Structure formats: C-alpha cells, structure tokens
Structure 1
Amino acid sequence: MGKFGFVNYDEQRMEKSGVRGILNQREAHIGVKIRNLRKKMGWTQEELAYRAQIDTSYLGQIERGKKRSPTIRIIGKIADALSVDSSLLLEPSESASTNAWEEREIFNIPEQVAHELKRSSFEEQMMYYKILQVIRQFMH
C-alpha cells in the first residue's frame, strides 16, 4: 500500500521480480560493513554519528538495513568519518574478500593519519610529529 492507502504498483513489481530483495541485501551489506568498521575502531554508534554529522537513530537504521537507500552523500560522510573510501562500503559483499578489505585499508593509511591529525589538538599533533621523527631515526 502506498502512503494514502492506494496500491503502489512499482512496489508490487519490485516484490514480484525480486528487485526489492536485491536492494534490501545491498542495503543490509552496507550496514554490516559500517557496523564492522565502527566496532573495529572501538566506537559507539553515537561517536560515529557525531563524527559523520548524522543522527544516531539514522545510523542505527542504516546498520540494521532498515533505512532504504541511504544517499551517496550520507555514505560519503560515514566513509570519511571511518577514514575509508566510500567504494568500500558500496561494493557487494561477495566481491569484497577479507584480503581485499585489508589491502584497501592499508592503502588508506595516509588518509586515516591525515583524518586523525585534523581531529587532534595542536599539542597532540606536535606529539605525533615528534614520535614520527624518532621512528624515522631508528629506521635509517
């Protein structure tokens, strides 16, 4: 049923053709990836929502696959907050093996470091810089 009690024929066609199921699976896999990355960072939904500048309940709906088709802008905000490329969240689960995820995350290290530095105070940035200088001395 549509908004006003009328039958929505597009919805019916999508249900019969199986397209609705495919879309629901896509939305669910995005949510699972977001939840897994969020937990890997040790963040609560509230913290990720704050960093992505979106509503916590909206993020919860996305993670549970209940929010239909989050916009690319929202996916981009979440990806930026997690310091990953948004394509990581959008690609189908079956093509994203664990190794591909790990390789992509390694390539995002400079972005992750830059993102972390932007959120840090000047004092923390100076501390990170000094630590990096010490590490460089030991490596050369």
Structure 2
Amino acid sequence: MHRRSEIARAAREVLLADLSRRVTIPELARVCGTSPTVLKEAFRAEFGMPVYAWFRRRRMIAAARLLVWTDLPVHEVARVVGYASASKFARAFAACLRLGPSAWRERYGRVRQWGRRCLSRLRPHCHVTASSPRSRAGG
C-alpha cells in the first residue's frame, strides 16, 4: 500500500508542475513507473477522486485565484490553466464554481481587501462524475 501512495503523490507532483500541460494517463503512468490501471487505482485511493477530476479541480482553483489576485484577462487565465479556448474555459469554470469567470472576478475581486483566507475555503464542485454534475461528493 505504501508504494501506491508514492505513485499517487508522484503523479500529483507531475500534474502540479504545469497546470497548462495536457497529460494522458498512460504518459503519467510511464513517468511514475507504473501501469495506467495501478496509477488510476492508487490516485483514487489517495485523493478520493479520479486523476482528471482532481486535475480539473486544481486548474479551477488556480484560475479562481488568478481571477481574484491578478488583472489578467479571462482568456489569459484560461491559457495559464491549460485551456486554448476562453469559451470552453468559461463553461468549465461555471460548471465547477457555479459562476462564470467574469462574475467570479466581480464578486470576489474585493477579496484582495479582506486577505487570502477567503480563497483557502474554496470548495469547487468540479470533482463530481459526469453522471451527477451538481452533486457534492467528497470535500
């Protein structure tokens, strides 16, 4: 079991190294020295969700923070977190955080005055499966 935890954590580090990078499960498994099946099982056991769901969630958390703490245009935030299309990013962001990127910035941009604690409680909804897009599974 210890080995699987190491595999999952190694995969997490690879993913976090560049949020804009497109990574396939077989490629990630090769980098981590394991099979795709073992990687997927280890990752779900360690982090409570599939690899791609976890990665999408991390991307959206990073995007939410960029929208609040920078003046980057939405299309540039999209690029930084791995979306070539600003409209696809906006749809994914809204599905995850229940507000579009511009509305998020408008609503939470004043967080700059309150401090960083607000965003530390961010609970995106994008870690759910496609069959239940609005449920809140896990944490």
Q: Which has the larger radius of gyration?
A: 1
Larger fraction in helix = 1
What TM-score does the superposition give when structure 1 sets the normalisation length? 0.28
